[in-house]
Structure 1
Amino acid sequence: MLHVRVVCPADRTDEVLAYLRGTTGTAHLTLARGASIAPAGDLLGADVAREAVDDVLAALCDRGIDRDGGITVEPLETVLSDAADRAEEAVPGLGSDAVVWDELVGRTGEESQASASFLALLTIACLLAAIGVVTNSPVTVVGAMVVGPEFGPLAALAVGLVGRRTDLTGRALRALGLGFPLALVVTAGAAVLAEAAGLVSLSPLESADQVDFIYQVGPFSLIVALLAGAAGMLAMTSAKSAALVGVFISVTTVPAAGYAAVAATLSDWPRCLSSLAQLAVNLVGIVAAAAAVLLLRTRTYRRRGLGRRLSEG
């Protein structure tokens, strides 16, 4: 279940209270009149079954609570209550399969920012991938896959495309457009400096046969990207974040960028271009599959007010 806390203008409290009382899937309804100072109003709370949260949020937004008051949604890890059990049983479906769109938009919006931590993690991941290429170590390449934070902007791009949120798509494109070129430049520079310092010896990439899969583009490159994008978006929309680790390991976005940087320093342009093509195939495939999953979920779940609220900037 999720806890929905509402800061409500006093003139709408009775209406909101009546709605929450009559809504299937709600439990533990509370009210503290005059408890909110800024904005001024009453404070309401309700524990809501995950399957019903979208309808509740849509109804609250239809009443202007998001504009004149405030709505906060928090996950509840453990709930010991017969009332909560009855509320969950009264709503069709499973909570683990329900999509809370506002939560998804907020989460992907936060993870799509070109923050210092995002740029640092992406650069570190590319450096790890380059080390894996130079040392012919698939294990190091897998480590780079896990570290890479690129699925956040890719998921945000899919959500933005489906919801027609230009602000979200723009933010995701900026993060990717800034992050990958920066990581490539830093990785290429680090490779040159490491060789000059005698730490590594950059040899022709033909000897790195254990990591050839990074730059070899084929039908399975797209298939894996599509499956990874679908699995990643399913994990995000069903609150099964542990599955995202498997998504990171399955795709070769960051390793392809690291391989391209090393190949460029060696003037091995065929492998460099092939790695960049692998990167592009993976990025496009992930976004396409993630968007398709969102479209299917949009049609599967009844969603009052989805189009209006997703289209708001």
Structure 2
Amino acid sequence: MLHLRMIVPADRTDEAVACIEKSIGTTHLAVLPGAARDPVGDLVMCDVAREVADELLGELGELGIEKDGSISVENIDLSLSHRADQAEEAAPGEGADAVLWEHLAESTHEESTLSVTYLAFLAVATMIAACGVVLDNAILIVGAMAVGPEFGPLAGICTALVQRASRLALRSLVALLVGFAVAMALTVGFSLMMNGFNLFHDYQVTAERPNTGFIWKPDMFSFVVAVLAGIAGTLSLTSAKSGALVGVAISVTTVPAAANAAVALSYGEYAQARGSTEQLLLNLAGIILAGTLTLFVQKLLWAKQRERTAKAAARKATAQP
């Protein structure tokens, strides 16, 4: 269940309440006239099943509430209510399959913004991966994958392509390209510094490296894994199962590939740098392709779900005296 808290202009409160009352899967409706002070309006609250929340938010958005008031959505971790149980049962579909497009757009907007923190995380992750490739240490590679924040811009690009949001696409693309460029440049400097301290050696870069040599040798398995990771990552975002993102992060070699390319460049190993760059681009392409297709399929399926929801709501309205 989700909890909606709205500040509604007084002249639109009746319309907002009507939208909530006619929607199936809603309960615990409360209206506090004149309770809001900034902006001025009525405070309207209700609980809604996740399955029907996207459609309800769309209807409320058409009233201009988000422009002249506000709409806040919160997850309800525990609801001890028989009426809430009935609302969830009445809503068609499963909550885990529901997509809140407004929430997805908002979350990807935040995660795909080029910021100092984003650059710092990506640079640190790339440097950790650089240590991993030089030492041929798979544990450091996994750690670097988990630290890397690059899935945010990738998800932003996928969302922008499906929703046709050009500004989100541009913001995400800038964050992705500039982020990797800065991280790789800093890692080149880091590698030279480590070499100066006699901690990195050229023979370590040119050695066999059985644990990490795959990073600069892309093949079809790299693309397959990237596609599967893109599907899993997108599903984890749309179903609010963020814990799965950790598994996604450590299944693709984006950050390690960027790190290996930077280290190879610092030692003049251009063949490795080229192979690592190909690995990086292959993984990025696989994730974007899979993520976009996953969102597109979800959008089609959810359109059918909304039709079923509308029919159920019509039956509910007909049954009311």
For the criterion TM > 0.5, the same-fold answer is yes
User: Deviations along 1:232-270, whole A, 9 cap, x unmatched?
Assistant: 001110111111111111100000000001111111101
Give yes or no for contact 2:19–2:60 (8 Å, CA) kept in 1.
no
CA distance in 2 between partners of 1:237 and 1:287 (Å): 15
Q: How does 1:133-172 map to 2 (within 5 A)?
A: 133-172=133-172
1:102 is aligned to 102
1:14 aligns with 2:7: no
CA distance in 2 between partners of 1:143 and 1:60 (Å): 43
1:248 is aligned to 249
Equivalent position amino acid for 1:222 in 2: F
Give yes or no for contact 2:222–2:283 (8 Å, CA) kept in 1.
yes
CA distance in 1 between partners of 2:101 and 2:290 (Å): 18
SS at match of 2:136: coil
SS at match of 2:74: strand
CA distance in 1 between partners of 2:8 and 2:102 (Å): 19
Q: How many angstroms does 1:109 deviate by?
A: 0.5
CA-based RMSD of the aligned residues comes to 1.1
Equivalent position amino acid for 1:51 in 2: E
2:234 is aligned to 233
Q: How many angstroms does 1:199 deviate by?
A: 2.4
Percent identical residues: 46
CA distance in 1 between partners of 2:74 and 2:167 (Å): 25
Equivalent position amino acid for 2:80 in 1: L
CA distance in 2 between partners of 1:32 and 1:131 (Å): 59
Show structure 2 runs of 5+ residues with no match. Answer: 307-321
CA distance in 2 between partners of 1:52 and 1:210 (Å): 48
2:186 is aligned to 186
Q: Number of aligned residue pairs: give it.
A: 304
Equivalent position amino acid for 2:33 in 1: R
Q: Under a length normalisation based on structure 1, what TM-score does the superposition of the two structures give?
A: 0.95
Q: How many angstroms does 1:202 deviate by?
A: 2.9
Q: How many angstroms does 1:205 deviate by?
A: 2.1
Give yes or no for contact 2:7–2:39 (8 Å, CA) kept in 1.
yes
Q: How many angstroms does 1:211 deviate by?
A: 0.4
1:311 is aligned to none
CA distance in 2 between partners of 1:286 and 1:178 (Å): 18
Q: How many angstroms does 1:117 deviate by?
A: 1.1
Q: How many angstroms does 1:24 deviate by?
A: 0.5
Equivalent position amino acid for 1:255 in 2: P
User: Deviations along 1:190-214, whole A, 9 cap, x unmatched?
Assistant: 1111111222323242332320111
CA distance in 2 between partners of 1:89 and 1:296 (Å): 25
2:285 is aligned to 284
SS at match of 1:209: coil
SS at match of 1:301: helix
Q: Under a length normalisation based on structure 2, what TM-score does the superposition of the two structures give?
A: 0.93
1:297 is aligned to 298
SS at match of 2:202: coil
CA distance in 1 between partners of 2:206 and 2:45 (Å): 61
1:28 is aligned to 28
CA distance in 2 between partners of 1:227 and 1:236 (Å): 14
1:221 is aligned to 222
CA distance in 2 between partners of 1:272 and 1:286 (Å): 21
1:268 is aligned to 269
CA distance in 2 between partners of 1:131 and 1:274 (Å): 18
Equivalent position amino acid for 1:55 in 2: E
Equivalent position amino acid for 1:228 in 2: A
Q: How many angstroms does 1:116 deviate by?
A: 1.1
Equivalent position amino acid for 1:262 in 2: V
Equivalent position amino acid for 1:288 in 2: L
SS at match of 1:210: coil
Q: How many angstroms does 1:50 deviate by?
A: 0.2
User: Deviations along 1:114-148, whole A, 9 cap, x unmatched?
Assistant: 11111011001100110001111111111111111
SS at match of 2:242: coil
2:75 is aligned to 75
CA distance in 2 between partners of 1:16 and 1:142 (Å): 49
CA distance in 1 between partners of 2:192 and 2:180 (Å): 18
Q: How many angstroms does 1:13 deviate by?
A: 0.7
2:112 is aligned to 112
